[in-house]
Amino acid sequence: MKITANKFVSVVYDLNVGEGEELELMEKATREEPLNFVFGTGAMLPAFEKKLSGMTTGDTFKFILHPCDAYGDYNEENLMELPKNVFEIDGEFDAKMIREGNTVPMVDSDGNRLNGSVMEVKEDVVLIDFNHPLAGETLHFSGEVIDVHDPTAKELAELSAKGCDCGGEDCGSCPGCS
């Protein structure tokens, strides 16, 4: 069976980022924990799906997605200093959640949900990066299609329950959370 719209797809892959010889392994989907998704439902990057379209079980792949086809260029304007009082709960700064390296779900002034990475906690402000963690990165995928079939009701329910890569925190930036 070929990868086409509404097919359940399982792939294993290595995702490396970077340029030239200086690649860094960013993510790995294994046979024990493959990437499972329903093709054509908006769960994956369109360019990623385009590269897999028409493949069948056992096909291998190796391709590159440039920032313009992935998560865009890194935008300095998405780096913001927010007053610490924005992160208070009952008058107390939430130091447990708002710490360097943590990703926090937030809502902008228009009600859009987005994730911000805490870059630095200063005396009066918190430096938050609203770029996608892979913004500006060239993505190098290599892997194999391990299964293609019509999805079962159980598989659809499991994918819905999983929601997204944020762990179901209703982050607003994953397809299952929007």
Per-residue pLDDT at 84 exceeds 90: yes
Alpha helices in the chain (DSSP H): 46-52, 153-162
d(CA 11, CA 36): 7
The torsion of the CA quartet 67, 72, 76, 77, rounded to 10 degrees, works out to 170
3-state secondary structure of 161: helix
Output the pLDDT for position 48. 98
CA angle 64, 68, 72 (to 5 degrees): 110
Output the pLDDT for position 108. 85
Q: Chain-wide mean pLDDT for the chain?
A: 90
All domains of the chain in start order, with CATH: 8-71+135-177 (3.10.50.40), 76-129 (2.40.10.330)
List pLDDT tens digits, range 24-65: 999 999 999 999 999 999 999 999 999 999 999 999 999 999
SS3 assignment for 44-95: CCHHHHHHHCCCECCCEEEEEECHHHCCCCCCHHHEEEEEHHHHEECCEECC
List pLDDT tens digits, range 96-152: 999 999 999 998 889 989 999 999 999 999 999 999 999 999 999 999 999 999 999
Output the pLDDT for position 163. 55
Percent of the chain with pLDDT over 70: 90
d(CA 143, CA 154): 26
d(CA 1, CA 59): 11
Please state the pTM of the whole predicted model: 0.80
